[in-house]
Amino acid sequence: MGKKRPQTKAGKPQAQLTDGEIPVVGAREPCPCGSGRRYKACHGRAAAHAVTELVQRPFEGLPGECDWVALRELVPAATAALRLKGGLPEGVPSVTLATVLPMAWPALRRDDGSVLLALQNDTSSGDLSRDLADTLQRALAAQPGTPVAAQRVSAEGPRLQDLLDPDASFEPAVHTGFEFWVPDSEQSASPEVAASLERANAAAIPTVRLSGVDAAYWCETPEKNHLRWVMPHPEEQLLDALARLHAAGTSSLGEDTRLVGSFRAHGLVVPVWDLPSTMGAKECEQPAAEFAERLAGALTVDAPLSPEERRARGGLTNRQVTLS
Protein backbone atom coordinates (compact mmCIF):
# COMPACT_ATOMS: atom_id res chain seq x y z
CA MET A 1 0.00 0.00 0.00
CA GLY A 2 1.20 3.51 -0.70
CA LYS A 3 2.17 5.74 2.16
CA LYS A 4 -0.42 8.07 3.48
CA ARG A 5 0.29 11.56 2.25
CA PRO A 6 1.07 13.81 5.20
CA GLN A 7 -1.35 16.63 5.80
CA THR A 8 0.12 20.07 5.20
CA LYS A 9 -0.83 22.99 7.30
CA ALA A 10 -2.71 25.68 5.51
CA GLY A 11 -0.98 29.00 5.33
CA LYS A 12 -2.28 32.10 6.92
CA PRO A 13 -5.75 32.77 5.51
CA GLN A 14 -5.89 35.56 2.95
CA ALA A 15 -8.60 38.13 2.70
CA GLN A 16 -11.51 36.54 0.92
CA LEU A 17 -12.17 37.79 -2.60
CA THR A 18 -15.39 37.70 -4.54
CA ASP A 19 -15.49 35.50 -7.64
CA GLY A 20 -15.28 38.52 -9.90
CA GLU A 21 -12.05 39.71 -8.24
CA ILE A 22 -10.09 36.45 -8.43
CA PRO A 23 -7.29 36.73 -11.03
CA VAL A 24 -6.11 33.92 -13.30
CA VAL A 25 -2.87 32.30 -12.04
CA GLY A 26 -0.89 29.15 -12.79
CA ALA A 27 -2.74 25.85 -12.34
CA ARG A 28 -0.41 24.68 -9.51
CA GLU A 29 -0.24 28.01 -7.70
CA PRO A 30 -2.31 28.68 -4.57
CA CYS A 31 -5.75 29.96 -5.46
CA PRO A 32 -5.91 33.74 -4.90
CA CYS A 33 -9.23 33.31 -3.10
CA GLY A 34 -7.34 32.21 0.04
CA SER A 35 -8.78 28.69 0.28
CA GLY A 36 -5.31 27.09 0.56
CA ARG A 37 -5.98 24.84 -2.43
CA ARG A 38 -4.25 24.94 -5.79
CA TYR A 39 -5.89 27.15 -8.38
CA LYS A 40 -6.73 24.22 -10.69
CA ALA A 41 -8.67 22.49 -7.87
CA CYS A 42 -10.48 25.65 -6.79
CA HIS A 43 -11.57 28.62 -8.90
CA GLY A 44 -9.46 27.43 -11.82
CA ARG A 45 -11.90 24.58 -12.35
CA ALA A 46 -14.76 26.99 -13.00
CA ALA A 47 -12.53 29.17 -15.17
CA ALA A 48 -11.44 26.19 -17.27
CA HIS A 49 -15.06 25.14 -17.70
CA ALA A 50 -15.99 28.66 -18.80
CA VAL A 51 -13.18 28.66 -21.36
CA THR A 52 -14.04 25.25 -22.86
CA GLU A 53 -17.84 25.55 -22.80
CA LEU A 54 -19.05 25.77 -26.39
CA VAL A 55 -20.73 29.00 -27.46
CA GLN A 56 -23.26 27.89 -30.07
CA ARG A 57 -23.51 31.24 -31.88
CA PRO A 58 -20.15 33.00 -31.41
CA PHE A 59 -20.93 35.69 -34.02
CA GLU A 60 -24.41 36.53 -32.75
CA GLY A 61 -24.86 40.29 -32.46
CA LEU A 62 -22.15 41.13 -34.99
CA PRO A 63 -23.18 42.85 -38.24
CA GLY A 64 -23.20 40.23 -40.99
CA GLU A 65 -23.38 37.19 -38.70
CA CYS A 66 -24.32 34.94 -41.65
CA ASP A 67 -21.30 36.09 -43.65
CA TRP A 68 -19.00 35.53 -40.64
CA VAL A 69 -20.22 31.91 -40.59
CA ALA A 70 -19.70 31.56 -44.34
CA LEU A 71 -16.15 32.93 -44.20
CA ARG A 72 -15.36 30.65 -41.28
CA GLU A 73 -16.69 27.43 -42.82
CA LEU A 74 -17.39 27.72 -46.55
CA VAL A 75 -15.27 30.30 -48.37
CA PRO A 76 -11.62 29.60 -49.21
CA ALA A 77 -10.28 33.10 -49.88
CA ALA A 78 -11.99 36.28 -48.70
CA THR A 79 -11.35 39.45 -46.73
CA ALA A 80 -13.50 42.03 -44.96
CA ALA A 81 -12.57 45.36 -43.44
CA LEU A 82 -13.20 45.61 -39.69
CA ARG A 83 -13.95 48.82 -37.79
CA LEU A 84 -13.10 49.02 -34.10
CA LYS A 85 -15.03 50.79 -31.38
CA GLY A 86 -13.35 54.11 -30.73
CA GLY A 87 -11.33 53.96 -33.94
CA LEU A 88 -7.93 52.48 -34.78
CA PRO A 89 -4.91 52.76 -32.47
CA GLU A 90 -2.08 55.03 -33.53
CA GLY A 91 0.16 53.36 -36.10
CA VAL A 92 -2.53 50.89 -37.27
CA PRO A 93 -3.90 52.10 -40.63
CA SER A 94 -6.40 49.25 -41.03
CA VAL A 95 -7.70 45.97 -39.64
CA THR A 96 -8.80 43.29 -42.11
CA LEU A 97 -10.43 39.93 -41.49
CA ALA A 98 -9.09 37.13 -43.71
CA THR A 99 -10.26 33.56 -44.10
CA VAL A 100 -6.73 32.16 -43.66
CA LEU A 101 -3.15 33.43 -43.51
CA PRO A 102 0.15 31.80 -44.55
CA MET A 103 1.52 29.09 -42.28
CA ALA A 104 -1.84 29.14 -40.44
CA TRP A 105 -0.88 32.30 -38.54
CA PRO A 106 -3.74 33.48 -36.31
CA ALA A 107 -2.89 37.09 -37.23
CA LEU A 108 -0.23 39.22 -38.88
CA ARG A 109 0.97 42.76 -38.22
CA ARG A 110 2.29 43.93 -41.57
CA ASP A 111 5.33 46.14 -42.07
CA ASP A 112 3.09 49.17 -42.55
CA GLY A 113 1.35 48.50 -39.23
CA SER A 114 -1.89 47.16 -40.68
CA VAL A 115 -3.41 44.01 -39.16
CA LEU A 116 -4.71 40.84 -40.81
CA LEU A 117 -6.85 38.59 -38.57
CA ALA A 118 -7.41 34.97 -39.68
CA LEU A 119 -10.83 33.41 -39.15
CA GLN A 120 -10.36 29.72 -40.02
CA ASN A 121 -7.67 28.77 -37.50
CA ASP A 122 -8.09 26.23 -34.71
CA THR A 123 -8.95 27.89 -31.39
CA SER A 124 -8.16 27.07 -27.77
CA SER A 125 -11.60 27.50 -26.21
CA GLY A 126 -15.24 26.95 -26.94
CA ASP A 127 -15.86 30.63 -27.64
CA LEU A 128 -14.55 31.50 -31.09
CA SER A 129 -15.43 35.15 -30.61
CA ARG A 130 -13.31 35.42 -27.46
CA ASP A 131 -10.37 33.63 -29.11
CA LEU A 132 -10.45 35.97 -32.10
CA ALA A 133 -10.74 39.04 -29.89
CA ASP A 134 -7.66 37.98 -27.93
CA THR A 135 -5.70 37.43 -31.15
CA LEU A 136 -6.84 40.80 -32.48
CA GLN A 137 -5.75 42.64 -29.34
CA ARG A 138 -2.31 41.02 -29.45
CA ALA A 139 -1.97 41.80 -33.16
CA LEU A 140 -2.75 45.47 -32.54
CA ALA A 141 0.10 45.59 -30.01
CA ALA A 142 2.58 43.47 -31.98
CA GLN A 143 5.66 44.88 -33.65
CA PRO A 144 5.15 45.67 -37.36
CA GLY A 145 6.31 42.86 -39.62
CA THR A 146 5.55 40.02 -37.18
CA PRO A 147 2.95 37.22 -37.06
CA VAL A 148 0.93 36.52 -33.91
CA ALA A 149 1.10 33.06 -32.36
CA ALA A 150 -1.78 31.12 -30.85
CA GLN A 151 -2.20 30.99 -27.08
CA ARG A 152 -4.70 29.92 -24.44
CA VAL A 153 -7.34 32.55 -23.81
CA SER A 154 -8.68 33.69 -20.46
CA ALA A 155 -12.38 33.17 -19.87
CA GLU A 156 -12.59 36.77 -18.66
CA GLY A 157 -11.23 38.35 -21.85
CA PRO A 158 -13.27 40.49 -24.27
CA ARG A 159 -15.15 39.13 -27.26
CA LEU A 160 -15.38 40.49 -30.79
CA GLN A 161 -18.70 42.03 -29.83
CA ASP A 162 -16.80 44.14 -27.27
CA LEU A 163 -14.15 45.34 -29.73
CA LEU A 164 -15.91 45.85 -33.08
CA ASP A 165 -18.16 48.76 -34.01
CA PRO A 166 -21.74 47.39 -34.04
CA ASP A 167 -22.83 50.08 -36.53
CA ALA A 168 -20.19 49.22 -39.15
CA SER A 169 -21.25 47.23 -42.20
CA PHE A 170 -19.64 43.87 -42.93
CA GLU A 171 -18.90 43.49 -46.64
CA PRO A 172 -16.83 40.42 -47.57
CA ALA A 173 -14.72 40.50 -50.71
CA VAL A 174 -14.26 37.01 -52.18
CA HIS A 175 -10.95 36.45 -54.00
CA THR A 176 -9.87 33.91 -56.59
CA GLY A 177 -6.62 33.31 -54.68
CA PHE A 178 -4.59 34.37 -51.67
CA GLU A 179 -2.45 37.12 -53.17
CA PHE A 180 -3.91 39.49 -50.58
CA TRP A 181 -1.49 37.94 -48.05
CA VAL A 182 1.28 40.27 -49.16
CA PRO A 183 1.15 43.58 -51.04
CA ASP A 184 3.34 42.21 -53.85
CA SER A 185 3.52 38.43 -53.60
CA GLU A 186 6.17 37.94 -56.28
CA GLN A 187 8.67 40.45 -54.87
CA SER A 188 8.13 40.70 -51.13
CA ALA A 189 7.02 37.21 -50.06
CA SER A 190 9.54 35.02 -48.24
CA PRO A 191 10.19 31.54 -49.69
CA GLU A 192 8.00 30.01 -46.97
CA VAL A 193 5.11 32.39 -47.66
CA ALA A 194 5.49 31.94 -51.43
CA ALA A 195 5.31 28.15 -51.05
CA SER A 196 2.30 28.42 -48.75
CA LEU A 197 0.64 30.77 -51.22
CA GLU A 198 1.17 28.33 -54.09
CA ARG A 199 -0.31 25.43 -52.11
CA ALA A 200 -3.31 27.47 -50.98
CA ASN A 201 -4.07 28.74 -54.48
CA ALA A 202 -3.93 25.20 -55.86
CA ALA A 203 -6.47 23.96 -53.30
CA ALA A 204 -8.92 26.90 -53.48
CA ILE A 205 -12.39 26.10 -54.83
CA PRO A 206 -13.76 28.88 -57.09
CA THR A 207 -16.38 30.72 -55.02
CA VAL A 208 -18.60 33.76 -55.65
CA ARG A 209 -20.85 35.67 -53.26
CA LEU A 210 -24.24 36.44 -54.80
CA SER A 211 -25.13 40.13 -54.90
CA GLY A 212 -28.92 39.91 -54.86
CA VAL A 213 -29.42 38.02 -51.60
CA ASP A 214 -27.53 37.92 -48.31
CA ALA A 215 -24.84 35.35 -47.45
CA ALA A 216 -25.38 33.03 -50.44
CA TYR A 217 -22.21 31.58 -51.99
CA TRP A 218 -21.90 29.79 -55.32
CA CYS A 219 -18.99 27.38 -55.69
CA GLU A 220 -17.61 25.25 -58.49
CA THR A 221 -16.50 21.64 -58.08
CA PRO A 222 -15.31 19.18 -60.75
CA GLU A 223 -18.62 17.29 -61.12
CA LYS A 224 -21.27 19.89 -60.26
CA ASN A 225 -21.72 23.35 -58.81
CA HIS A 226 -23.36 24.23 -55.52
CA LEU A 227 -25.10 27.10 -53.79
CA ARG A 228 -24.59 27.30 -50.03
CA TRP A 229 -26.74 29.89 -48.31
CA VAL A 230 -26.29 30.83 -44.64
CA MET A 231 -29.66 31.85 -43.19
CA PRO A 232 -30.41 33.76 -39.96
CA HIS A 233 -33.81 32.23 -39.19
CA PRO A 234 -34.43 29.99 -36.14
CA GLU A 235 -33.65 26.42 -37.11
CA GLU A 236 -37.04 24.81 -36.45
CA GLN A 237 -38.94 27.57 -38.24
CA LEU A 238 -36.58 27.46 -41.21
CA LEU A 239 -36.71 23.67 -41.56
CA ASP A 240 -40.52 23.79 -41.48
CA ALA A 241 -40.53 26.44 -44.19
CA LEU A 242 -38.07 24.51 -46.35
CA ALA A 243 -40.17 21.36 -45.89
CA ARG A 244 -43.32 23.18 -47.05
CA LEU A 245 -41.54 24.40 -50.18
CA HIS A 246 -39.95 21.00 -50.81
CA ALA A 247 -43.28 19.19 -50.53
CA ALA A 248 -44.86 21.73 -52.89
CA GLY A 249 -42.08 21.21 -55.45
CA THR A 250 -40.85 24.81 -55.16
CA SER A 251 -37.59 24.34 -53.25
CA SER A 252 -35.33 24.18 -56.30
CA LEU A 253 -33.55 27.02 -58.09
CA GLY A 254 -34.64 25.97 -61.54
CA GLU A 255 -34.23 23.09 -63.96
CA ASP A 256 -31.70 20.41 -62.93
CA THR A 257 -31.20 22.01 -59.50
CA ARG A 258 -32.10 20.38 -56.20
CA LEU A 259 -32.15 21.25 -52.50
CA VAL A 260 -30.08 18.37 -51.17
CA GLY A 261 -29.76 19.12 -47.47
CA SER A 262 -28.11 21.57 -45.11
CA PHE A 263 -25.20 22.25 -42.79
CA ARG A 264 -25.55 23.44 -39.23
CA ALA A 265 -22.70 25.84 -38.49
CA HIS A 266 -22.18 28.10 -35.46
CA GLY A 267 -25.85 28.01 -34.57
CA LEU A 268 -27.18 28.76 -38.07
CA VAL A 269 -28.57 26.56 -40.83
CA VAL A 270 -26.95 26.52 -44.28
CA PRO A 271 -29.18 25.00 -47.00
CA VAL A 272 -27.28 23.52 -49.95
CA TRP A 273 -28.40 23.14 -53.56
CA ASP A 274 -26.83 20.99 -56.25
CA LEU A 275 -26.52 22.90 -59.53
CA PRO A 276 -25.56 21.76 -63.03
CA SER A 277 -21.99 22.52 -64.06
CA THR A 278 -23.34 24.92 -66.69
CA MET A 279 -25.00 27.14 -64.06
CA GLY A 280 -22.65 29.89 -62.93
CA ALA A 281 -23.00 32.47 -60.20
CA LYS A 282 -24.71 35.00 -62.49
CA GLU A 283 -27.31 32.44 -63.48
CA CYS A 284 -28.09 31.89 -59.78
CA GLU A 285 -28.98 35.50 -59.03
CA GLN A 286 -32.58 35.62 -60.26
CA PRO A 287 -33.59 32.10 -59.10
CA ALA A 288 -32.13 32.85 -55.65
CA ALA A 289 -34.05 36.12 -55.38
CA GLU A 290 -37.26 34.35 -56.38
CA PHE A 291 -36.62 31.58 -53.87
CA ALA A 292 -36.06 34.21 -51.14
CA GLU A 293 -39.57 35.53 -51.81
CA ARG A 294 -41.08 32.03 -51.62
CA LEU A 295 -39.19 31.32 -48.40
CA ALA A 296 -40.35 34.58 -46.82
CA GLY A 297 -43.94 33.52 -47.43
CA ALA A 298 -43.39 30.01 -46.08
CA LEU A 299 -41.79 31.40 -42.93
CA THR A 300 -45.03 33.20 -42.06
CA VAL A 301 -47.09 29.97 -42.06
CA ASP A 302 -47.58 28.51 -38.58
CA ALA A 303 -50.05 25.72 -39.38
CA PRO A 304 -49.00 22.15 -38.50
CA LEU A 305 -47.07 20.34 -41.22
CA SER A 306 -49.03 17.97 -43.43
CA PRO A 307 -47.93 14.31 -43.63
CA GLU A 308 -46.15 15.02 -46.94
CA GLU A 309 -44.43 18.08 -45.43
CA ARG A 310 -43.34 16.05 -42.39
CA ARG A 311 -41.77 13.47 -44.69
CA ALA A 312 -39.99 16.24 -46.59
CA ARG A 313 -38.74 17.69 -43.31
CA GLY A 314 -37.47 14.30 -42.19
CA GLY A 315 -35.56 13.92 -45.43
CA LEU A 316 -33.93 17.34 -44.99
CA THR A 317 -32.93 16.73 -41.36
CA ASN A 318 -31.54 13.28 -42.20
CA ARG A 319 -29.18 14.98 -44.63
CA GLN A 320 -28.08 17.68 -42.21
CA VAL A 321 -24.42 17.85 -41.16
CA THR A 322 -23.12 19.81 -38.19
CA LEU A 323 -19.85 21.66 -38.88
CA SER A 324 -19.38 23.25 -35.46
In this predicted model, what pLDDT tens digit does every residue of 90-136 receive, in sequence order? Answer: 999 999 999 999 989 999 999 999 999 999 998 878 999 999 999 99
Strand partners, 219: 207, 226
52 confidence band (pLDDT: 50, 70, 90): low
The pLDDT of residue 222 is 86
184's torsion region: left (phi>0), alpha (psi -120 to 50) or beta? beta
Q: What is the pLDDT of residue 206?
A: 96
Q: What is the largest CA-CA distance in the chain?
A: 79
Instruction: Give the pLDDT band of residue 27 (cuts 50, 70, 90).
Output: low
Q: How confident is the model at residue 145 (pLDDT cuts 50, 70, 90)?
A: very high
pLDDT band at 13 (very low <50, low <70, confident <90, very high): very low
The residue ranking higher by pLDDT, 58 or 4, is 58
Percent share of the chain, pLDDT over 90: 68
Instruction: Specify which residues 96 forms β-bridges with.
Output: 81, 116
Q: Above 70 in pLDDT, residue 6?
A: no
Q: What is the mean pLDDT of residues 30-46?
A: 77
- Which helix (H) or strand (E) is 259 found in, with range? strand 258-265
* Cα 155 off chain centre by: 18
Q: What is the pLDDT of residue 31?
A: 84
Average pLDDT, the chain: 88
Average the pLDDT over 10-31 and give the result: 57
Lowest-confidence segment of 127-136, 149-158, 203-212 by average pLDDT: 149-158
Rounded distance, CA 319 to CA 239, Å? 12
Q: Which among 89, 63, 320, 81 is positioned nearest to 215, based on CA atoms? A: 63
Task: Say yes or no to pLDDT of 298 above 80.
Answer: yes
Instruction: Give 71-129 as a DSSP string.
Output: HHHT-SSEEEEE-BTT-PPTT---EEEES--GGG-SEEE-TTS-EEEESSS--SSS-HH
Neighbours of 100 (CB within 10 A): 20
Alpha carbon distance, N-terminus to C-terminus of the chain? 47
Structure confidence at residue 53 (pLDDT): 76
Average pLDDT, integer, range 231-254: 97
Residue 22 in contact with residue 31, Cβ under 8 Å? yes
